Structure formats: structure tokens, C-alpha cells
Amino acid sequence: MPEYMDIAVNLVGSSLEKDIQRVVDDAAAQSVTSMVIIGSHIQESEQAISLCEQFPGQLYCTAGIHPHHASEWQTDSADILRKLTLSPSVIAVGECGLDYNRDFSPRDMQRKAFAEQLALAVELKMPVLMHERDAHDDFLAILKEYRSDLPAALLHCFTGNKQSLDAYIELDLYLGVTGWVCDERRGQELASLVPHIPDERILIETDSPYLLPRSMRPKPKSSKNEPKYLPYIAQYVAALRQQNINDFAETSYRNSRRFFGLEY
């Protein structure tokens, strides 16, 4: 069976955290052998590191401040994140970016926190894991200032349109596809775009415990998404791309390991 790496899982502070051993074991039973725990603020990043230390080689994490928490950005935030990245468990800066859909933090603070985390990734020569929702123009403008100096950049949970897809491909971004693509109501546009993502730039993710694929049958009794469902998403995406599932799984796994600088 092919191996899978779930490149975005929200474990810390979620409903899955108390059940972490079972979540990891169930994922491994489905050949999801590694996953990346998202750090969306400083405390969560610290907790993610502690969690990863319990599962070496299986769990990795990011360290960053999500746009929802951008109002928490302080003058010493970059220094704190810099120290957190010294942990071998931290394999990317983020999740950072812009979210004008919820606007949980003022937009000027979102832009400041995003730019300073990109600068940190450049300084540390680390890949960056990013978030963008309803903020394409500002996101693109800020990212363009740093992209040439970033070793690698990933927009996770991509749900944009053809125009944004073309812009992100031009910037040589990796793009993460979630179970959103399995939603017959909201995911139709994404389903039409998935075949246009270059082979060497597509990644897959669950964004657990969110975005449980609606098309799963039988439908899981729990409404929670889990890393163990990543192969289902892979199969769905492979069909959209008219690719053999084993070939696609190997491609996405190789891309994931390459992006995070892990051995393949």
C-alpha cells in the first residue's frame, strides 16, 4: 500500500486531542504514517511540540500565528517563534496568512503578522505554511515581496478560483487540497480546478477535525474528520485528475516530504 502524509491536522485544543493515541494508530492502520500538527498561536505551537515529542517520526508540527490570532502579535513574537523552531519537531513556519472572511483580527494586524512571519521564514530558510480566505489581492501582494527568498511555500486548504490558482502556480506554490473537494454543494469549483494543479505541486490534507468529506459512504457516525480518512480524499482527487491512485498517492507523498525537507 502507498504511504500518506497528512500535511495539516488541528490536534491541539481540538476534540481529537484527548484521543491522540487512537487517532495516530487508526491513521497508521490506513497507511497515513506521518502528519503535521498546526500551530495557530504561540501557546498552541508550544503544545504541538510537546505532543510531537511523544510520537517521533509520526508527528511533526508548525510554529506560527494564524490570522485569527494576529491581534496577539507582539514585538517579541518573532523572537519566541524563532526559539520554537529550534525544536526538530518544527518543520515549517505558520500557519500564517490573511483571513478577511472572519476578520477575527484587524486587517492591518493580519498583514503585519503575515509579513513578519514570512520574513522569519526567509531568515531561518524554512518552508512556510499559509492560509488565505477572501484576501487574495493583499495576500498575493505581501507574498510577492518575500517569495523569491523563501525555500518553499504552501497554501493549505486551497479553495480559490481559476484566477487565484494561476497566480499561485506562477509563484511556484505548493497547494493543499482537503475534503472540501468532496462537497457537492461547495466544492464544485475546486473539483474543476484540481486537474490543473501541477503534479509536482499538489499535496493532500484532512484539516482534521474539520471538513469531513461529505461524499463518504457509509458516512462516519462521528462528524469529526480524522487523518485516517486521507486515503479517501486521495482516491477522490486521483479520480478527478484521471490518475492511478497508487501513482497519485506516491506523488503527493513525495511532494509532502520534499516540501518539509524530510527524507523520502
- Give 28-68 pLDDT, tens digit per residue: 999 999 999 999 999 999 999 999 999 999 999 999 999 99
Residue 62 forms part of a structural domain:
yes
CATH number of the domain enclosing 67: 3.20.20.140
Query: Which residues are part of a known binding site?
Result: 95, 131, 156, 207
pLDDT number for residue 27: 98
Enclosing H/E stretch for 249: helix 245-259
The answer to the question of residue 110 being in a domain is yes
Structural domain contains residue 46? yes
What kind and span of H or E run contains 108? helix 107-124
DSSP state letter for 37: E
What's at 147, amino acid-wise?
R
Residue 1 pLDDT grade (very low, low, confident, very high; cuts 50, 70, 90): confident
The structure's pTM equals 0.96
Instruction: Report the run of H or E that residue 125 belongs to, with start and end.
Output: none
**Is there a domain that residue 264 lies in?**
no
- For strands 128-133 and 59-63, give the pairing: unpaired
Give the pLDDT confidence score for residue 142 in this predicted structure: 98
Binding residues for a divalent metal cation: 95, 131, 156, 207
Is the per-residue pLDDT at 263 higher than 90?
no
Q: How does pLDDT run across 204-231, given as a tens digit for each residue?
A: 999 999 999 999 999 888 889 999 999 9
- In the chain, the number of structural domains is 1
Asked, as a colleague might, if the bond just before 209 is cis with ω within 30 of 0, I would say yes
Identify the domain containing residue 122 by its residue range.
4-259
Reading the block at residue 168, the C-alpha cell is 499561485
CA distance 23 to 232: 16
Give the single-character DSSP code of 208. B
The model's pLDDT over 119-164, given as tens digits with 9 standing for 90+, comes to 999 999 999 999 999 999 999 999 999 999 999 999 999 999 999 9
- pLDDT at position 223 is 86
- Residue 210: inside a domain: yes
Let me know: does 131 contact 164? Beta carbons within 8 Å: no
Q: What pLDDT, on the 0 to 100 scale, is given for residue 57? A: 95
For residue 264, pLDDT over 80 is answered with no
Q: Quick check: is 39 in a domain?
A: yes
